[in-house]
Structure 1
Amino acid sequence: MGEPHRIGIVGLGVISRAYLDTFAQSDAVVVTAVADLDAARAHDVAAGLPAARALSVDELLAAADVDTVLNLTVPAAHAEIAVAAVDSGKNVYGEKPLALGLASGLGVIEAASRAGRQVGSAPDTVLGTGLQTARAAIDDGLIGRPVAASAVMVTPGHERWHPNPDFYYRAGGGPLFDMGPYYVTALVHLLGPVRAVIGLSSRPRSERRIATGARAGEVVPVSIDTHVTGALEHAGGAVSTITMSFDGTATAASPIEVHGEEGTLSVPDPNVFDGDTTVRLTGDDGWRRLALSAGFADAARGVGLLDLVRARADSPARANGHLALHVLDVMESLTRSAAEGRRVELTTTAERPAPVPLTPREVWLAR
């Protein structure tokens, strides 16, 4: 079966714990090195891992016992760390978004191509049973030809619960770049790549007040739009709409709905791995829940990296860099469209990732 794939983690913030919990249950990978700007934090994390040592970022990138770098840095550092990783001969898998902008995201993909390395990117939530069951229903023709979809996320903003929400209101943050990757990636899985977009956006408030933690009451400036809505023209002909907002209280809308010629699917939140997909066909009196039929069962953060580790030339990783670049293009194009008041054609495309068959937890965790 061979030795486990060796992982080095750069960035040990809150999200790193979810990945570490998944890796601890899998014999397919082993964490051999960790790095963080806070050296003490890196040493604390390494002390709890049987095979890991705490290194500087440069030391980790140069380490001979690291095959893939898991990049959990802040969004502003995603591209820089990713390029450095592939230039050092490592594969890289990162948190979303791939980069702050399309140009730097393209730089990551081009650097990986030159080095012959793989790039993977969150979100991998779309590989769980929730979204994959909905995709299987579409692929099986349950609702007929899909013609439209909607994706909706509305919250009052992260300053209500996050003690340090500053980066959510800077370039690379906001509802579109923070939460949009889940919804846009889901729409590409369901309906295929996007050809063009039209966007609108607004910024009702120029500052936000932190509600919790040591900085409660402190004011944070807002430098990006906090309500973004738009239309996506998919290459296959379907049209979807998206609303991402930090300026509402809540929504009763389904996170995603897909409308076909013969029925409608209500799709669970793509920010989580599971959830019920319901369907209402033409002539039905109500909605019915679909039995789980696809996806990594009981999945958790890191399943996308495990999928990348197993990828082959004839079976590429599903949470891959080309998909992440296309999602970044969609988001940047929506932003540009809103600013310029025009339809924007995308410059990238991506293959619709392979569907995930229904896969038990013990199988996707195994080497």
Structure 2
Amino acid sequence: MALRVAIIGCGDIAHAYVTLSRHFPSFEIVGCASRTPERAEHFAAQHKLLTLNVDDALAGKHGIEAILNLTPPNSHYAISRAALENGLHVYTEKPLATSLDEGRKLLTCSQEKGLRLGGAPDTFLGAALQCARDVIDNKTIGDVVFGQANFISGGMEHRHPNPEFFFKTGGGPVFDIGPYYVTALVSLLGPVASVSAIGTIGRPIRSVSTSGSPQRGSAIHVEVPTTVQALLRFRAGAQISMSLSWDSQPTALPHIDLHGTLGRAVLPDPDFFGGSLKIIREDSTTPVATEALPWGRINWPEQQPSLANYRGLGLADFAQAIADDRPHRASGEMAFHVLEVLTAISTSTRSYEMCRIGSTCERPLPISNGASHKVSFSGPASFEL
């Protein structure tokens, strides 16, 4: 039977979760709630869901078994903690929380109550990063020695309808974009041992220019670094330099470029599930397309698809893992480890010192491990989970 899920937080990303949930029979989104009741009512009508108030959702009414926490980052802890205290499983958008103390409390609470805690991003389960995982595990490029990770853009004030929170505590490119890159790298290379970083605020005041935004023309006073360069040392030995910036224009630099003892792997944007890889060895360059693979097929946006987007794949594995009594891949432990890495990067930008990472986590099992568990794909194939 499908896990009955209620959404709390009816913002931009909620539409993708609900729309794409048709691919995932292991869970059913039955209702939605918001601190702004009118928003919940509109969203529920749009998607044919139950309109809930937040307290009823957190109380597990209407047979709700799990909360999908899509609130802004500074609300993640309070909502997730309340759900766990009331006996509900929790899957949250990134980051897990905005402080290590909050993240640790969520992990402890879920463990004490025997409940599942999971968290985005789940793009590491997509076709592109699963192909990359095969490359790493099969030593196609040998042992990874070093690499680069890059995300460079002009910022969120040009594209998000309510961008102010991106520039406040718990935001910035480190906590907004960083989870995709760090989670991808941890899934490929294992846990991080230490980080050091420098950062700066490129423009202390920004103006909202998103078309149709109710905040259009208003000023945002920036509180967090908008350009950060970090060096991550992994326990397995690899060194990865990472640049995250909202202060420039998009660049031709590869999103992730891993250099091994036998070659290189150039990977696509870890914010999405598909895209092409490039494997470079001394005698060959091999492009690897993923559009024909499950969780790599182009499907988004709905009207004019141009990329692969399967938000909810991690929640599908989470729900199926509950039914099968096995570990889920987008685990609370990995989300906490990523949170510690991001927090350490932020700390290092202020202290100019290296920060050691105290937590660890297991690399999630690859999807193509031959397990008997499957999540159905509404297409010509299914993908082993």
TM-score by structure 1 length? Answer: 0.93
Q: Is this contact kept in 2: 1:8–1:34, CA < 8 A?
A: yes
How many angstroms apart in 1 are the aligned matches of 2:226 and 2:334?
Answer: 24
Cα distance, 1:361 vs structure 2: 2.0
**Which position in structure 1 is the counterpart of 2:79?**
81
Q: Is this contact kept in 1: 2:24–2:313, CA < 8 A?
A: no
| Equivalent position to 1:300, from 300, 310, 313 | 310
C-alpha distance 294-199 of structure 1, shift in aligned 2 (>3 A): farther
How many angstroms apart in 2 are the aligned matches of 1:305 and 1:78?
Answer: 16
| Equivalent position to 2:320, from 301, 310, 315 | 310
User: What letter matches 1:140 in structure 2?
Assistant: N
Cα distance, 1:190 vs structure 2: 1.2
What's the C-alpha RMSD, in Å, of the aligned pairs? 2.2
Q: Matched residues, percent identical? A: 35
How many angstroms apart in 2 are the aligned matches of 1:165 and 1:109?
Answer: 29
**Which position in structure 1 is the counterpart of 2:59?**
62
How many angstroms apart in 2 are the aligned matches of 1:303 and 1:90?
Answer: 20
**Which position in structure 1 is the counterpart of 2:12?**
14
**Which position in structure 1 is the counterpart of 2:353?**
342
User: Per-residue displacement from partner, 1:176-229 (whole Å, max 9, x unpaired)?
Assistant: 101000000011011110011111111132111122334333221011111111
**Which position in structure 2 is the counterpart of 1:239?**
239
Q: Is this contact kept in 1: 2:145–2:259, CA < 8 A?
A: yes
Unaligned runs of 5+ in 1: none
**Which position in structure 1 is the counterpart of 2:230?**
230
How many angstroms apart in 1 are the aligned matches of 2:288 and 2:153?
Answer: 28
In terms of mean alpha carbon deviation, does 237-246 or 298-307 score higher? Answer: 298-307
Matched, 1:259 2:270: no
User: Per-residue displacement from partner, 1:8-65 (whole Å, max 9, x unpaired)?
Assistant: 1101111111111122344322223211122122223333555x42121111111240
**Which position in structure 1 is the counterpart of 2:332?**
321
How many angstroms apart in 2 are the aligned matches of 1:143 and 1:260?
Answer: 5
Secondary structure of 2:264's partner? strand
In terms of mean alpha carbon deviation, does 242-251 or 38-47 score higher? Answer: 38-47
C-alpha distance 43-366 of structure 1, shift in aligned 2 (>3 A): farther
Cα distance, 1:290 vs structure 2: 2.4
Secondary structure of 2:25's partner? coil
Cα distance, 1:297 vs structure 2: 4.4
Cα distance, 1:364 vs structure 2: 5.8
In terms of mean alpha carbon deviation, does 36-45 or 13-22 score higher? Answer: 36-45
C-alpha distance 340-31 of structure 1, shift in aligned 2 (>3 A): same
How many angstroms apart in 1 are the aligned matches of 2:70 and 2:338?
Answer: 19
Secondary structure of 2:187's partner? helix
How many angstroms apart in 2 are the aligned matches of 1:63 and 1:315?
Answer: 23
Matched, 1:268 2:293: no
Q: Is this contact kept in 1: 2:191–2:360, CA < 8 A?
A: yes
Secondary structure of 2:321's partner? coil
Secondary structure of 1:160's partner? coil
Secondary structure of 1:132's partner? helix
Secondary structure of 1:201's partner? strand
* Alignment coverage as a number of residue pairs: 362
How many angstroms apart in 2 are the aligned matches of 1:24 and 1:40?
Answer: 25
User: What letter matches 2:146 in structure 1?
Assistant: A
**Which position in structure 1 is the counterpart of 2:304?**
none
**Which position in structure 1 is the counterpart of 2:303?**
none
Q: Is this contact kept in 2: 1:130–1:295, CA < 8 A?
A: no
C-alpha distance 228-280 of structure 1, shift in aligned 2 (>3 A): same
Q: Is this contact kept in 2: 1:194–1:330, CA < 8 A?
A: yes
1:104-253 pair list within 5 angstroms: 104-212=102-210, 213-253=213-253
Cα distance, 1:300 vs structure 2: 0.6
Secondary structure of 1:229's partner? strand
Secondary structure of 2:230's partner? strand
Cα distance, 1:106 vs structure 2: 0.9
Q: Is this contact kept in 2: 1:294–1:357, CA < 8 A?
A: no
TM-score by structure 2 length? Answer: 0.89
User: What letter matches 2:353 in structure 1?
Assistant: R
How many angstroms apart in 2 are the aligned matches of 1:7 and 1:20?
Answer: 11
How many angstroms apart in 2 are the aligned matches of 1:183 and 1:254?
Answer: 12
